[in-house]
Amino acid sequence: MQEIHEGQEGQKTGEEYQRSILDRISDFFIEVLVSLISTVKKGWREKNRSRVAEWKLMFYALNRSPPGVIGLFLVTIFVFLGIFGPFLAPYKYNYFPIFENGDTYLSPPGQFFPLGADHFGRDLVSLLLQGARTSLVISIIVIILGVPLGIVLGLVAGYFGGKIDELIMRITDMFLAFPPLILAIAFAAVLPERISYLINNNPLLQQLLLWLFALDTREAGNLSRLLAVMIAMAIVWWPGYARITRGSTLTERESLYVESARAIGLSSAKIMAKHILPNIIGPILVYVTLDFGSVVLTEAGLSFLGLGATPPIADWGRIVYDGSQFFPKAWWLIIFPGSIVLLDVLGWNLLGDSLRDVLDPKLRRSIEFKVKRKKGEKT
Partner 1 sequence: MTDKVLEVKNLTVHFYTYAGVVKAIENVSFDVYRGETFALVGETGCGKSVTARALTQLIESPGRIVEGEVYYHKNGESVDLLKLEEEEIRKYRGKEIAYIFQDPQSSLDPLYSVGFQVSEALYAHNKVKSIKEGIRKAVDILRTVLMPDPEKRVSNYPHELSGGMKQRVTIGIGISNDPKILIADEPTTALDVTVQAQILNLIKEMKRKYGATVLLITHDMGVVADMADRVAVMYAGKIVELADVFSIFKEPIHPYTEGLLKAVPNPLIKIERLETIPGTVPSLINPPSGCRFNPRCPLASQICRAKIPELEEVKNGHYVACHNR
Partner 2 sequence: MGTMLPAITGDTMNFDSGYSKSNSELLMVKNLKKYFPLKGLLFTKGYVKAVDNVSFEIKKGETFGLVGESGCGKTTVGRTILRLIEPTDGQILYDGRDITKFKKNDMDWFRRKAQIMFQDPYSSLNPRQTVFQIVMEPVNHHGIDVDDPERFVIDLLEKVGLNEGHLYRYPHEFSGGQRQRIALARILSLKPEFVVLDEPTSALDVSVQANILNTLKDIQKELNLTYLFISHDLAIVKYMSHRLGVMYLGKLVEVGNSERIFEEPLHPYTKALFSAIPIPDPEIEKRKDKLEVKGEPPSPINPPSGCRFHPRCPFAKEICGQKEPALEKVEKDHFVSCWLY
The footprint of partner 2 (CB under 8 A) covers: 1-2, 4, 6-7, 9-10, 12, 46-51, 54, 255-257, 259-266, 270, 275, 278-279, 361
- The listed partner (partner 1, partner 2, none) that binds 263, CB under 5 to 8 Å by sort, is partner 2
- The listed partner (partner 1, partner 2, none) that binds 265, CB under 5 to 8 Å by sort, is partner 2
d(CA 123, CA 219) in angstroms, rounded, equals 19
Candidates 226-234, 284-292, 295-303, 366-374: pick the segment binding partner 1 (CB under 8 A): 366-374
d(CA 295, CA 38) in angstroms, rounded, equals 36
What are 117's strand-pairing partners? Answer: 123
Contacts of 61 (CB under 8 A, 6+ apart): 357, 358, 364, 367, 368, 371
- The listed partner (partner 1, partner 2, none) that binds 217, CB under 5 to 8 Å by sort, is none
- The listed partner (partner 2, partner 1, none) that binds 377, CB under 5 to 8 Å by sort, is partner 1
Q: Which amino acid is at 250?
A: L
Contacts of 77 (CB under 8 A, 6+ apart): 347
CB 300 within 8 A of CB 356: no
Q: Which amino acid is at 105?
A: Y
Assess 15 for contact with partner 1 (CB under 8 A): no
Assess 372 for contact with partner 1 (CB under 8 A): yes
Smallest gap from Cβ 379 to partner 2, in A, equals 26
Assess 18 for contact with partner 1 (CB under 8 A): no
CB 229 within 8 A of CB 145: no
Residue closer to partner 2, measured from CB, 4 or 40: 4
CA triple 207-213-219, angle to 5 deg:
65
Coil, strand, or helix at residue 173? Answer: helix
Q: Phi and psi (nearest 5°) for 117?
A: -135, 165
Number of residues that bind partner 1 (CB under 8 A): 17
Residue of 130, 134, 311, 300 lying closest to 219 (CA atoms): 311
Smallest gap from Cβ 77 to partner 1, in A, equals 32
Residue closer to partner 1, measured from CB, 218 or 374: 374
Assess 45 for contact with partner 1 (CB under 8 A): no
Assess 16 for contact with partner 1 (CB under 8 A): no
Smallest gap from Cβ 3 to partner 2, in A, equals 8
CB 307 within 8 A of CB 186: no
Coil, strand, or helix at residue 154? Answer: helix
Smallest gap from Cβ 361 to partner 2, in A, equals 8
CB 242 within 8 A of CB 168: yes
- The listed partner (partner 1, partner 2, none) that binds 76, CB under 5 to 8 Å by sort, is none
- The listed partner (partner 2, partner 1, none) that binds 376, CB under 5 to 8 Å by sort, is partner 1
Contact string 270-299 vs partner 1 (x = CB under 8 A) = ------------------------------
Residue of 297, 256, 357, 16 lying closest to 142 (CA atoms): 297
Q: Kindly tell me which residue out of 4, 40, 177, 263 binds partner 1, with binding defined by CB under 8 A.
A: 4
Q: Kindly tell me which residue out of 5, 42, 163, 362 binds partner 1, with binding defined by CB under 8 A.
A: 5
d(CA 284, CA 286) in angstroms, rounded, equals 5
Residue closer to partner 1, measured from CB, 217 or 379: 379
Binding residues for partner 1, per CB under 8 A?
A: 3-8, 365-370, 372-373, 376-377, 379
